[in-house]
Chains A and B, each alone.
Chain A
Amino acid sequence: MEVGKTKKKELVKIKSIPYKDFKNNDYLEEMVRELHENGVNVVVGALDEAINWGRGNSLWPLTFATSCCGIEFMSVGAARYDMARFGLEVARASPRQADFIMVAGTITDKMAPVLKRLYDQMADPKYVIAVGGCTISGGPFKHSYHVVKGIDQILPVDVFIPGCPPRPEAMLYGMMQLQRKVKLQRFFGDVNKKEVSEKEYEERMKRDMTANS
């Protein structure tokens, strides 16, 4: 977006960074335009706005780190980078209590079903951030026999953070991008809808329980 020419409407606000300083604004605008065209009302209601304010500012990640990128994610949580400033501090050890999963580190063939299961166990609405080259494409291990070449093959990814490992600043930026996305979404009747029927859900859980006796 060209700065200073025509002032475009700012879709979402993040306190720490002005709208025009974000990259990929066109992506958000495109998303909204498409929704408009399909006749979806994207002007969120007052209640939605209030809820999204809360949701967007208290996104809790699932502690999930398989390798190097995980150490940088720990740095983001520690004193200097301190993601608590953005309401992201409470890393949860249980997928039931997490809003999004930071996939930090290489995902191997053996880990892939485990990751999928963790994702399935999270409550809706849920989001995925792919951290580092490994999760985007397999990274340095692209040609390996035991590495998944991009987690978008198995999960719907919301934000990609490139790097090997990405700097903590990049991770913060990525998480803010996620916040913007969250703030734009309608909570009622949209992202909060259930993906599977209750019955199927129960069956899945049963399968999980027996597989992990």
Chain B
Amino acid sequence: MSVQNKISQQFPTAQIEEKSDRLIVSINAELLREMAVMLYNDKELRFDFMRSLTGMDWGEAGFGVVYHLESTEDIKRQLELKVVIPDRENPFIDTVSDLWKTALLNEREVYDYFGVIFIGHPDMRRLYLRSEWKGFPLRKDYVRAEGLDMTNEEPDDSTVTWYRDKNGVPRSRRYNLFESGEYVVNIGPQHPATHGVLRFRVSLEGEFLKKLDVHCGYIHRGVEKLCESMTYQQTISLTDRLDYLSSLQNRHALCMCVEKAMGLELSDRIQYIRTIMDELQRINSHLLFFATFCMDLGALTSFFYGFRDREKILDILEETTGGRLTMHYNVIGGVEEDIHPNFVKRVKELLAYLPYALEEYRKVFTENIIAKNRLIGVGHLSREDAISFGATGPTGRGSNWACDVRKRIPYGVYDKVDFKEIVRSECDSYARYLIRMDEIKESMRIIETLIDNIPEGNYREKTKAVIRVPEGSYYTAVEASRGEFGVYLESRGDKSPYRLKFRSTGLPLIAGIDTISRGEKIADLIAIGASLDYVVPDIDR
């Protein structure tokens, strides 16, 4: 039985719309729980991977939550579940965080943005903003209270959870995350080894980690809300600043989303250039990973090696794009400028040089016995957990989950090149490290195949000065340096998006960090965090 028939049989009131790439199902909030359980458990459906979870403010119609689901068994099974919560005064909805663990943090995000309360969620605190914050910023009628709160945050370990009493009325209950007498240590937000401003509170049993509570929001810049008041051409500039080590790929995702929505055809030249640029960016990011990863483990020399070689790529990128970090290269309808005349030559020089560098890394670090002892078997993440948390990218592939968007849903010219998806089954920090090192080689192979065959053609297609995207909702994803970066766009046909959500690559990673690091030593938390390689502004957005 097809997915569509199955759903309409069980839920006659659900509205189903079939799109070329996915099924869109709209239901009311009461049905969610039942539907979610079926989608997750049914053997023929088995939607076990939640790609993205988005909160919505649909004005008169109420609030909403949009779930993007996929089945890891069959990539063709794609579903967009739209749930409406009509009551604006008391927006309640059931949690699905017990089925898909990625919802644990994502539902908190929706609460933080819209004030929607998830019944049954174990921990309904705000995710990004301070607990004293007034109002819910992504509501359409939100007005910010004046002033800047300069008081220090009070440590508060209590949290709230909601349940339904006998009559079905929602009730709340407070409880403490840490028991009294537990030894709790604070790490961050200003800490040299947390890779930016992330904050952990960990409870310790001797040297071992019992529980970890992660705090985000120290670099929450409100990008999604900003986008709602910008034209499409303006929104793309912000994507560079989310995960700045995937700036080209992020921008690729948003441009692709808008182009697809408008039905814009791109020349082959554009696709080739974008693909090569994405791969250069990936190498760049993985080199930086190598540098910082080793530094976190105390190998400072490697830091200099990584940065030394990264500069070579930056030179190439700078020549064409003019930027080193925020490159602003992709635009809607193509790329900003054609590639520099030196580009091909210099990329080839780079490809000839990199193998020596990689060999050096191998000698210095990969084969280093100290590094091995600290990494092998440390930070175990099982395949089921990786899928449940939605931990994509090298982290997911280190846990034996083939989750590469380039293979799953090819874009650019990835379907035309031959490359291997590196997958390992050790599930530990060392596997995650090795995968990135091998991915550099695969990226080099991709570039090698493409660099001599860049076809002639436009580097930029003509678009109107004012871009209006036809009404509807669109989801597009690319494989950024750290996993699936998705863009969910809902348009009402205006000059600016009605809602633009970025599927963060890092949020699922830190959602899983409690599971990964429990029972490990506190010193290994740094190694684990470094091996996940999250970028905090991308988590907080």
A residues engaging B (CB < 8 A)? 63-68, 70-72, 74-75, 78-80, 93, 105-106, 108-114, 116-118, 140-141, 143-148, 153-154, 164-165, 167, 207-208, 211-213
Contacts and interface: CB of A to CB of B under 8 A. Distances in A.
A106 B226 CA distance: 15
Chain B binding surface SS class = loop
B225 A145 contact: yes
B190 A64 contact: yes
Nearest to A212: B186
B148 A112 contact: yes
A148 B167 CA distance: 46
B307 interface: yes
Contacts of A67: 196, 219, 241, 244, 536-537
Interface in B515-541: 536-537
A118 B186 CA distance: 16
A114 B218 contact: yes
A79 B307 contact: yes
Of the candidates B151, B244, B536, the one having the most CB atoms from chain A within 10 angstroms of its own CB is B244
A79 B514 CA distance: 35
Contact of A80 (B192, B288, B291, B307): B307
Contacts of A93: 191-192
Contacts of A211: 152-155
B199 to A, nearest CB: 9
Contacts of B197: 66, 111, 114
Contacts of A68: 241, 244, 325-326, 537
Contacts of A144: 221-223, 225-226
B220 A143 contact: no
Contacts of B191: 93
20 contacts: A63-B192, A66-B196, A67-B244, A68-B537, A72-B324, A74-B307, A78-B308, A79-B311, A109-B130, A112-B150, A113-B152, A117-B152, A141-B221, A143-B226, A144-B223, A145-B142, A147-B222, A153-B148, A164-B326, A208-B152
A114 B191 CA distance: 12
A109 B149 contact: yes
Contacts of A212: 152, 155, 186
B212 to A, nearest CB: 18
Interface residues of B, number: 48
B229 interface: yes
B226 A110 contact: no
B475 interface: no
Contacts of B130: 109-110
B307 A113 contact: no
Interface of B: 128-130, 137, 142, 144, 148-155, 186, 189-192, 196-197, 217-223, 225-226, 229, 237-238, 241, 244-245, 288, 291, 303-304, 307-308, 311, 324-326, 536-537
Contacts of B537: 66-68, 105-106
Given A78-B304, A140-B241, A146-B137, 14 more contacts: A68-B325, A75-B307, A78-B307, A80-B307, A105-B219, A108-B217, A108-B221, A109-B129, A109-B130, A109-B148, A112-B148, A153-B148, A154-B150, A211-B154
A128 B326 CA distance: 24
B512 to A, nearest CB: 23
A110 B220 contact: yes
Given A67-B219, A144-B222, A146-B220, A118 B190 contact: yes
Contacts of B245: 71
A143 B190 contact: no
Contacts of B153: 110, 113, 211
A80 B150 contact: no
A164 to B, nearest CB: 6
Contacts of B150: 112-113, 116, 154
Given A109-B149, A211-B152, A143 B241 contact: no
A170 to B, nearest CB: 11
Nearest to B314: A75
B219 A111 contact: yes
A146 B221 contact: yes
Nearest to A67: B537
A74 B219 CA distance: 18
A63 B191 CA distance: 9
A140 B155 CA distance: 31
A106 B221 contact: yes
Contacts of A74: 307
Contacts of B311: 75, 78-80
Contacts of A117: 152
A165 B149 contact: no
Contacts of A78: 291, 303-304, 307-308, 311
B219 A145 contact: no
A141 B226 contact: yes
Contact of A71 (B128, B220, B325): B325
Nearest to A165: B325
A105 B536 CA distance: 12
Given A78-B308, A146-B220, A211-B153, A70 B225 contact: no
B144 A113 contact: no
Contacts of A71: 244-245, 288, 325
Contacts of A213: 155, 186
